[in-house]
């Protein structure tokens, strides 16, 4: 009898404890009923998970997708919720709070920046589903989840290997798992880069015109969120576009024309966005961005003043190393992300040294390998003067090219390490 009463009291206390916990950790979210908000988010995560059963993907992939989605939900609605409670100034709160306006924010879409577009996407989400912070975050997390699966299919085409372990590495790598599970720009940019990479590899391997549309769609998605992504993604295409094994010269000509138009459009958008009229403007903008980044809470970084092109060029090797491999173990640990990133970076550095020592890099001496390397190099050149001033910013921005970097490094591993089964043909 007493045991039954005790069990009843415990069952009654669980909802109260749940409500108290959600209210306590979500005090930055402008919602009247936070527990219900969380329940809506959880229900939406279950619905999205069930939808995987109906996705037009190979049946053999669905079990892996369901498992990884479960892990991602635990991160999105579990670990990240606890982390968010310690960072009241997170952008996610701002996006959600600004999206709760009754007016449609899509009226001036062509002049909107990345922040306004994310806010507008959150507003649109509220028009379709109940207004819920956690449900909106789950939808953004699903965008990142889809991006990682597209990267996996890209890796399969890229290396002619079908191996679920590669998918698990890409999808469960801590940095990509965390930063692609937030309500913010990162999941959307990552989705754009994934579509772009899938389009590039598909054009080269299959020579199908539909991959060109996927490529341009990916560039557009990434560029409307971060305007400079157009330059980063389009410039490397010159590496392989002239080496396409395409019988039809018309397709190659159309491809060159469309890529050139898209590149000029992105260059013009980039120049207008930062008001760049001369070389001095470029140096001053790089200096301002570097110094403003170094004032954040995730320093120490490298704050520089670029007074001449020579000084900027001389800084690039240090800046590139910083954005790719810092922080390292022994440097600052202002939060759990910095500690995890330091372990990742040490693994990256050791991985790269081992590959170079064993001369595995020779396997990348082909148009696709050079394209992928060019994407990483151009990204580091553009981000080195900016992100190197704040290691926290560098950690977060690196997920834009992190899957491509991971695919490159996985491709440089000996096949026996991943027990890879080669596809025929």
Which single residue is written with the structure tokens 């580091």? 380
Res 139: pLDDT: 96
Q: What CA–CA distance (Å, rounded) separates 410 from 16?
A: 48
Could you give the CA distance from residue 425 to residue 422 in angstroms, rounded to a whole number? 9
The SS3 assignment for 414 reads: coil
Q: What percent of the chain is modeled with pLDDT above 90?
A: 22
List 161's β-bridge partners, or say none: 422
| Helix residue spans in 160-278 (DSSP H) | 164-172, 174-179, 185-206, 210-225, 229-234, 249-274
φ, ψ dihedrals at 331, nearest 5°: -85, -170
Distance CA 158, CA 398 (A): 21
Residue 50 dihedral angles phi and psi, to the nearest 5°:
-65, -30
Q: Residue 125 and residue 106: Cα distance in Å, rounded?
A: 13
Higher-confidence position of 399 and 102 = 399
The CA-based dihedral angle spanning residues 151, 385, 228, 104, taken in that order and rounded to the nearest 10 degrees: 100
Q: What is the pLDDT of residue 207?
A: 75
Q: What pLDDT sits at residue 7?
A: 34
Q: What digits encode the pLDDT tens for the residues 9-50?
A: 433 444 665 676 777 676 777 778 888 889 899 999 999 999
Flag whether pLDDT at 416 surpasses 90: no
Residue 421 has pLDDT above 60, yes or no: no
pLDDT of 290 reads 59
Read off the pLDDT band of 74 (50, 70, 90).
very high
pLDDT at 153 over 90: yes
So what's the pLDDT on residue 82? 78
Which carries the bigger pLDDT value, residue 373 or residue 112? 373
Residue 18 confidence (pLDDT): 62
Q: By percentage, how much of the chain surpasses pLDDT 70?
A: 71
pTM of the predicted model as reported, rounded to 2 decimal places = 0.86
pLDDT at residue 41, rounded to an integer: 92
Sequence ranges of the domains in the chain: 32-422
Q: What does the DSSP 8-state code read for residue 78?
A: I
How far is Cα of residue 218 from the mean position of the Cα atoms in its chain? Answer: 13
For 124-154, b where at least 16 C-beta lie within 10 A, e where not — what string? ebbeebebbbbbbbbbbbbbbbbbbbbbbbb
Q: Are 376 and 239 in contact (CB under 8 A)?
A: no
Q: What is the pLDDT of residues 335-372, one digit of tens each?
A: 667 777 788 888 888 887 877 776 666 666 777 888 88
Residue 58 CB contacts under 8 Å (≥ 6 apart), including other chains: none
For residue range 308-343, list pLDDT tens digits in order. 677 777 777 887 888 888 777 777 656 667 777 788
């Amino acid at each position: 009898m007493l045991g039954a009463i005790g069990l009843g009291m415990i069952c009654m206390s669980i909802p109260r404890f749940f409500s108290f916990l959600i209210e306590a950790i979500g005090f930055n979210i402008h919602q009247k009923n936070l527990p219900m908000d969380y329940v809506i988010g959880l229900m939406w995560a279950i619905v999205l998970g069930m939808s995987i059963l109906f996705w037009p993907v190979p049946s053999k992939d669905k079990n892996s997708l369901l498992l990884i989605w479960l892990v991602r939900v635990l991160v999105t609605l579990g670990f990240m919720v606890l982390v968010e409670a310690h960072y009241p100034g997170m952008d996610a709160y701002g996006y959600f709070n600004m999206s709760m306006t009754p007016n449609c924010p899509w009226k001036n879409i062509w002049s909107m920046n990345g922040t306004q577009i994310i806010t507008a996407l959150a507003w649109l989400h509220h028009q379709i589903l109940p207004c819920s912070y956690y449900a909106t975050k789950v939808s953004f997390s699903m965008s990142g989840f889809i991006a990682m699966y597209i990267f996996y299919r890209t890796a399969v085409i890229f290396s002619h290997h079908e191996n679920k372990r590669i998918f698990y590495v890409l999808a469960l790598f801590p940095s990509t798992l965390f930063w692609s599970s937030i309500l913010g720009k990162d999941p959307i940019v990552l989705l754009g880069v994934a579509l772009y990479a899938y389009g590039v590899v598909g054009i080269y391997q299959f020579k199908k015109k539909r991959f060109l549309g996927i490529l341009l769609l990916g560039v557009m998605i990434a560029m409307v969120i971060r305007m400079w992504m157009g330059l980063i993604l389009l410039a490397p295409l010159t590496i392989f576009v002239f080496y396409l094994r395409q019988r039809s010269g018309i397709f190659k000509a159309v491809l060159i024309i469309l890529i050139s138009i898209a590149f000029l459009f992105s260059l013009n958008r980039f120049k207008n966005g930062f008001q760049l009229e001369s070389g001095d403007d470029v140096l001053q903008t790089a200096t301002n961005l570097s110094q403003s980044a170094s004032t954040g809470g995730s320093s120490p970084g490298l704050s520089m003043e670029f007074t001449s092109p020579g000084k900027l060029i001389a800084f690039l090797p240090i800046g590139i190393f910083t954005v790719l491999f810092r922080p390292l173990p022994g440097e600052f640990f202002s939060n759990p992300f910095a500690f995890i990133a330091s372990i990742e970076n040490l693994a990256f550095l050791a991985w790269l040294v081992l590959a170079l020592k064993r001369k595995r890099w020779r396997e990348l001496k082909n148009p696709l390998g050079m394209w992928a390397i060019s994407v990483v190099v151009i990204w580091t050149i553009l981000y080195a003067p900016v992100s190197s001033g704040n290691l926290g910013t560098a950690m977060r921005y690196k997920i834009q090219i992190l899957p491509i970097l991971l695919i490159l490094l996985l491709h440089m591993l000996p096949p026996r390490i991943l027990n890879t089964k080669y596809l025929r043909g």
